[in-house]
Amino acid sequence: MRHCIICLQQLDLFQGLERDQFTNLCQCTNRKRLSRGHYLFRQGEATSTIYLIKSGKLKLVQTAEDGHETILDVCGPGEVLGELSFYQEQNEHSSAIAMEEVCICCFSKLQFEGLIKQDPSFALRIIGYLGQKRYETMLKSGKESGLPVKERLLQLFYRLAEQYGQERPTSTLIDLKITQQELADMIGSSRVMVIQALKEFQAANIIDREKRYFVLKNDPCTSIHTFE
């Protein structure tokens, strides 16, 4: 119980709650573990559960009517999923799939409604949290829309390094096992184009590989690197 409370206190969404509110929230919390490739939820499912990722990473995958899949985002420890059920009843617009072993805390919508009744300011924090997530999504889409494949891929590596990077003296290891196809799905490109871009990045000493991990080199010119 204590570990769960500490886990929640580290999130901006729960800042300001009293200890007894944390305790009440944690008492009904269910924990779930997923192995790589398993679904937390599927696109089109109705859900009234909010999920807090404690460890591991999941990818959010949206499938079009023609079967084409797009990876919308990669989510890791401390992030919240299923937050749309905070304020409206609707089906999930994407599937959440474990990229490695994942540990998750699950909360019901009713628990959060109870917190709002006890502390109306909690509703404002929820609204602020949702607004910030939407702003970050729009900002990310705006920066990358219309860019060539190589530029979109490089921007993706910057973002993943910021989220999951392990700093080294001359490089940053991205602590995320991600395939070439997943990279292609994240930037809306083909695997062939991504493979070609990766070859050029490696030749330019921008990107390297260590087993199944990508390594971004600390080159001061990298951020302004352009490609033909």
Q: What is the pLDDT of residues 37-68, one digit of tens each?
A: 999 999 988 877 888 888 899 999 999 888 88
User: Tokens representing 216?
Assistant: 């971004």
Q: What is the pLDDT of residues 59-103, one digit of tens each?
A: 999 998 888 888 988 988 878 888 766 666 678 889 999 999 999
pLDDT of 210 higher than 80: yes
Query: What's the burial of 58, exposed, middle or buried (CB within 10 Å: 0-12/13-18/19+)?
Result: buried
Within the chain, residue ranges assigned H as helices are 2-9, 19-27, 109-118, 121-144, 149-164, 180-187, 191-203
pLDDT at residue 1 in the model: 45
pTM for the predicted model, two decimal places: 0.73
CA distance 214 to 223: 17
* C-alpha separations of 197 from 154, 183, 207 in Å: 9, 11, 10
Residue type, 127: I
Check: CB of residue 56 under 8 Å from CB of residue 102: yes
Check: CB of residue 97 under 8 Å from CB of residue 36: no
* C-alpha separations of 183 from 65, 68, 193 in Å: 21, 14, 10
